[in-house]
């Protein structure tokens, strides 16, 4: 099956879709380093630049089975300003214009959970539904958590899926047919060995300092025990969401002795100390065996192949990894789309009118 990839980034969705049997015919991203990373791992050429400049050229493609991609989410994220008028938020309409030009058998738009659930974005959702129907697509909007699909990370993402014609489908149960056993961080990174060793060389040297005024939560792995936004990772559960802001003191924290030596968790013991009224330790009293997540560990937590090549400075590589859709989650989504396309009776009355864009 043939696909077009938009907002491709480092290629997390592309890995999953190609593993599911799709062949990407064309790809695009704005970021120079992400495009270099994509080109280092795929035979498909990727076009760098503003997608709006390239959409008119997509009419060269016919018989495309699926158009997929994740428009930038910063304007919709609860970690950002949640501004629907953010310039990046307008790119969801660029995605739909690409659907209008290409007329694929299916489309998959990925974004943050808040776009699918918050009342303040209801008008955007209704407009997406209207456009999909106008173009002749049945659709479904679901939120999936990557931890249910073999990804050692709790990461909830929206998937807006359209199928050409009047086919009725429910995407979530179809996707969950391809769910996997939950994996803990330890399961996936232990075999890399300690930070700095042969298979785990790309370390993050940002210093870890203890917060003078910690913010406590019930879990030792929530709240803010350390300065910066990097939270500690519990190796015995899926990790928290890896963000594109990783790098420096925003990179998650690992207790190396707890992970590799089976020692008691320093983070849990310190949290217990604070919860029982103990005073915070001094800023520089974090033990040396607490360190930041490495690039190789982050790559595995996002379920990229071990031999996946990343281009750019370490800060750029962390950003590319954090921005990506976990490959195993993309694989399950792609298999569900294939399954639906394989069983769907496509309508003979496709809507060909391409004049609606003027009204968007």
Lowest mean pLDDT among 18-32, 82-96, 257-271, 272-286: 82-96
pLDDT score of 310 more than 50: yes
pLDDT score, position 25? 96
pLDDT score, position 351? 31
Percentage of the residues of the chain whose pLDDT score is greater than 70? 91
pLDDT score, position 348? 30
Domains, the chain, with CATH or none: 2-180+325-359 (3.40.50.150), 185-319 (3.90.120)
Residues 286 and 278: their CA atoms lie apart, in Å, by 16
pLDDT score of 262 more than 90: yes
Catalytic position from the list 35, 73, 204, 327: 73
Structure pTM?
A: 0.90
pLDDT score, position 290? 98
Q: Is 204 a known active-site residue? A: no
Angle value at C-alpha 203, between 197 and 204, nearest 5 degrees: 160
Mean pLDDT for the stretch of residues 171-192: 95
Higher pLDDT, 62 or 9: 9
73-82, 113-122, 141-150 — most confident range: 141-150
Mean pLDDT for the stretch of residues 308-332: 96
Percentage of the residues of the chain whose pLDDT score is greater than 90? 84
Mean pLDDT for the stretch of residues 29-43: 97
Mean pLDDT for the stretch of residues 23-36: 97
pLDDT score, position 344? 59
pLDDT score, position 113? 92
Residues 335 and 174: their CA atoms lie apart, in Å, by 9
Average pLDDT, the chain: 90
Burial class (CB in 10 A: 0-12, 13-18, 19+), 193: middle
Categorize the per-residue pLDDT at 356 as very low, low, confident or very high, splitting at 50, 70 and 90: very low
Mean pLDDT for the stretch of residues 26-48: 96
Lowest mean pLDDT among 21-30, 114-123, 130-139, 327-336: 114-123
- Check if the beta carbon of residue 142 is closer than 8 Å to that of residue 103: no
pLDDT score of 345 more than 90: no
- Check if the beta carbon of residue 181 is closer than 8 Å to that of residue 188: no
pLDDT score of 92 more than 80: yes
pLDDT score of 174 more than 70: yes
Helices 12-19 and 327-343 pack at an angle, to 10 degrees, of: 50
Categorize the per-residue pLDDT at 168 as very low, low, confident or very high, splitting at 50, 70 and 90: confident
pLDDT score, position 359? 32
pLDDT score, position 353? 33
pLDDT score of 352 more than 90: no
Mean pLDDT for the stretch of residues 310-316: 96
Q: Which is nearest to 108 in space by CA: 352, 344, 330, 357?
A: 330
pLDDT tens-digit series, residues 271-281: 999 999 999 99
Residues 317 and 246: their CA atoms lie apart, in Å, by 9
pLDDT score, position 80? 52
pLDDT score, position 83? 56
pLDDT tens-digit series, residues 69-90: 999 755 544 455 555 565 556 8
pLDDT score, position 81? 57
Mean pLDDT for the stretch of residues 234-250: 93
């Amino acid at each position: 099956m043939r696909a077009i990839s938009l907002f491709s980034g480092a290629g997390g969705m592309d890995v999953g879709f190609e593993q599911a049997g799709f062949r990407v015919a064309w790809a695009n991203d704005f970021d120079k380093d992400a495009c270099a990373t994509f080109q280092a791992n795929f035979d498909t050429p990727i076009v760098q630049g503003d997608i709006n400049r390239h959409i008119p050229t997509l009419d060269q493609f016919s018989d495309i089975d699926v158009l997929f991609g994740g428009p930038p989410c910063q304007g919709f994220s609860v970690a950002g300003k949640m501004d629907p008028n953010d310039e990046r938020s307008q790119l969801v309409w660029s995605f739909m214009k690409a659907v209008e030009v290409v007329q694929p058998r299916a489309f998959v738009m990925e974004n943050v959970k808040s776009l699918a659930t918050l009342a303040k974005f209801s008008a955007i959702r209704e407009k997406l539904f209207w456009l999909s129907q106008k173009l002749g697509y049945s659709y479904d909007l679901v939120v999936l958590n990557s931890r249910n699909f073999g990804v050692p990370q709790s990461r909830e993402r929206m998937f807006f899926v359209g199928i050409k014609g009047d086919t009725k489908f429910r995407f979530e149960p179809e996707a969950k047919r391809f769910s996997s056993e939950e994996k803990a961080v330890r399961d996936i990174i232990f075999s890399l060995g300690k930070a700095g060793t042969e298979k785990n060389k790309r370390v993050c040297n940002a210093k870890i300092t203890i917060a003078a005024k910690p913010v406590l939560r019930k879990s030792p792995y929530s709240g803010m025990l350390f300065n910066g936004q990097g939270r500690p990772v519990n190796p015995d559960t899926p990790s928290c969401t890896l963000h594109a802001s990783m790098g420096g003191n925003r990179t998650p924290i690992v207790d190396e002795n707890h992970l590799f030596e089976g020692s008691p968790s320093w983070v849990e013991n310190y949290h217990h100390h604070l919860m029982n009224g103990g005073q915070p330790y001094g800023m520089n009293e974090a033990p040396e065996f607490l360190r930041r997540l490495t690039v190789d560990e982050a790559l595995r937590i996002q379920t990229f192949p071990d031999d996946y090549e990343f281009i750019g400075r370490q800060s750029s590589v962390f950003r590319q990894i954090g921005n990506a859709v976990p490959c195993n989650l993309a694989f399950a989504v792609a298999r569900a789309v294939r399954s639906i396309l394989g069983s769907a009776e496509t309508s003979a009355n496709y809507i060909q009118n391409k004049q609606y864009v003027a009204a968007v």
